């Protein structure tokens, strides 16, 4: 990410370069009794699962944070892990709690998420990202490693899942699901950003081709199954949904992902509406916040700051025919 002065919004496009996401996050894990987990990074600080100890800070505007809100809902962890919600826009310094009275998170008492990061790492050198989990008693950030946050909400907090919570990580599908998740992340979740933040025509063209190759693959894969992994909802669906939900409102125009709209891909559009209408999904989507985030924060792509009025959100409530 290119530098900006402290009070400016950041710049995202580096002329002549392809977009390369920084995937270095605070790798700590929250596990049952602080145990060593079977999957993922283990040479990290381990924190114990404990209801009421942690606050998930997640902006509805952000797709990576949105997935954590959905998983928390699906598993019934609302009374176990509290939720703090920053507003949709931010500057280079941090996400801010401008939706809360007085502009402060009511539990953590902070104006900027940056304060929780600096409380633990005074010289934290990277971006202040959401989702982040913060320890309520100390106000210190625990982790912002978004892929493992939702993974661990399922595997490590099982004792506190609601009755009938979905099996988001079926053991017999683990290997195939890891492969599907990898392709969805690299080609779709991050693929739209590679288009939007491309710094050259060549980088954009390559990113565009990769994105739509993957979307065509998904259109074909979902033609004979309701969900990505078969007949049951998994986290693979959560991960894809947050990109699809933003596609026509943001990525099609703002990020130049304009071969076609989501509404013009009949299988993916039906699938996306199916998920949107599933409890735990649609109520986490706020199109006004989503559009405000992208069109206001990305001043190097949209210098006017004008936020488009459409598309109409009511189309997401049309029958999907995938039951």
Reported as a single tens digit per residue, the pLDDT across 106-121 is: 999 999 999 999 999 9
Q: At what angle do helices 266-276 and 235-246 cross, to 10 degrees?
A: 110
Which residue is listed with tokens 């099982």? Answer: 158
Is 198 within a domain?
Answer: yes
pLDDT-based confidence at residue 3 (cuts at 50, 70, 90): very low
Averaged confidence pLDDT in the chain: 95
Reported as a single tens digit per residue, the pLDDT across 58-100 is: 999 999 999 999 999 999 999 999 999 999 998 888 999 999 9
134 and 259 part of one domain: no
Reported as a single tens digit per residue, the pLDDT across 229-240 is: 999 999 999 999
185 and 210 part of one domain: yes
132 and 37 part of one domain: yes
Reported as a single tens digit per residue, the pLDDT across 246-258 is: 999 999 999 999 9
Instruction: Write down the catalytic residue from 25, 54, 62, 257.
Output: 62
137 and 195 part of one domain: no
53 and 149 part of one domain: yes
Q: Which pLDDT score, from 0 to 100, does residue 5 have?
A: 31
Flag whether 95 is marked binding: yes
Task: Tell me, yes or no, if the pTM score tops 0.85.
Answer: yes
User: What is the phi/psi pair of residue 136, to 5°?
Assistant: -65, -40
Helix (H, G, I), strand (E, B) or coil at 296: helix
189 and 307 part of one domain: yes
CATH number at residue 51: 3.40.30.10
Decide if 62 is catalytic.
yes
Q: Which pLDDT score, from 0 to 100, does residue 323 have?
A: 79
Spatial separation of the C-alpha atoms in residues 65 and 49, rounded to whole Å: 20
- Res 302 pLDDT > 90: yes
Q: Which pLDDT score, from 0 to 100, does residue 8 have?
A: 53
Cβ neighbour number for residue 180 with a 10 Å cutoff: 20
Is 137 within a domain?
Answer: yes
Is 260 within a domain?
Answer: yes
- Domain of residue 266: give its range: 171-317
Decide if 124 is catalytic.
no
- Res 219 pLDDT > 80: yes
DSSP state of 216: H
Is 86 within a domain?
Answer: yes
CATH number at residue 267: 1.20.1050.10
133 and 179 part of one domain: no
- Res 299 pLDDT > 80: yes
Reported as a single tens digit per residue, the pLDDT across 118-161 is: 999 999 999 999 999 999 999 999 999 999 999 999 999 999 99
156 and 229 part of one domain: no
Is 24 within a domain?
Answer: no
Instruction: Give the closest residue to 193 by CA, choosing from 247, 126, 156.
Output: 247
> What is the percentage of the chain residues whose pLDDT exceeds 90?
89
Indicate the number of domains in the chain. 2
Instruction: Write down the catalytic residue from 193, 204, 208, 271.
Output: 193
pLDDT-based confidence at residue 40 (cuts at 50, 70, 90): confident
| Segment 260-272 mean pLDDT | 98
Q: Which pLDDT score, from 0 to 100, does residue 10 have?
A: 65
């Amino acid at each position: 990410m290119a530098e900006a002065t402290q009070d400016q919004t950041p710049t995202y496009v580096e002329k002549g370069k392809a977009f390369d996401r920084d995937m270095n996050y605070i790798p700590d894990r929250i596990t049952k009794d602080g145990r060593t987990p079977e999957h993922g990074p283990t040479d990290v600080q381990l924190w114990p699962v404990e209801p009421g100890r942690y606050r998930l800070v997640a902006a509805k505007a952000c797709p990576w944070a949105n997935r954590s809100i959905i998983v928390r809902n699906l598993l019934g962890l609302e009374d176990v892990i509290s939720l703090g919600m920053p507003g949709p826009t931010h500057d280079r310094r941090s996400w801010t709690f401008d939706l809360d009275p007085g502009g402060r998170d009511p539990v953590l008492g902070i104006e900027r998420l940056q304060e929780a990061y600096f409380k633990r790492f005074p010289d934290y050198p990277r971006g202040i990202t959401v989702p982040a989990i913060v320890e309520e008693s100390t106000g210190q950030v625990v982790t912002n490693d978004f892929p493992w946050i939702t993974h661990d909400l399922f595997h490590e907090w099982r004792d506190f899942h609601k009755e009938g919570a979905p099996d988001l990580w079926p053991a017999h599908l683990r290997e195939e699901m890891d492969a599907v998740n990898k392709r969805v992340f690299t080609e779709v979740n991050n693929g739209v950003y590679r288009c939007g933040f491309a710094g050259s025509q060549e980088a954009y063209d390559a990113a565009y081709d990769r994105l739509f190759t993957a979307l065509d693959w998904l259109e074909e894969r979902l033609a004979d199954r309701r969900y990505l992994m078969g007949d049951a909802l998994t986290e693979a669906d959560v991960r894809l949904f947050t990109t699809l939900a933003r596609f026509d409102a943001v990525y099609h125009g703002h990020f130049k992902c304009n071969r076609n709209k989501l509404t013009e891909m009949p299988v993916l559009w039906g699938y996306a509406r199916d998920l949107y209408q599933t409890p735990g999904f649609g109520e986490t989507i706020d199109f006004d916040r989503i559009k405000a985030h992208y069109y206001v924060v990305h001043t190097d792509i949209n210098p006017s700051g004008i936020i488009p009025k459409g598309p109409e959100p009511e189309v997401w409530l049309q029958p999907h025919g995938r039951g």
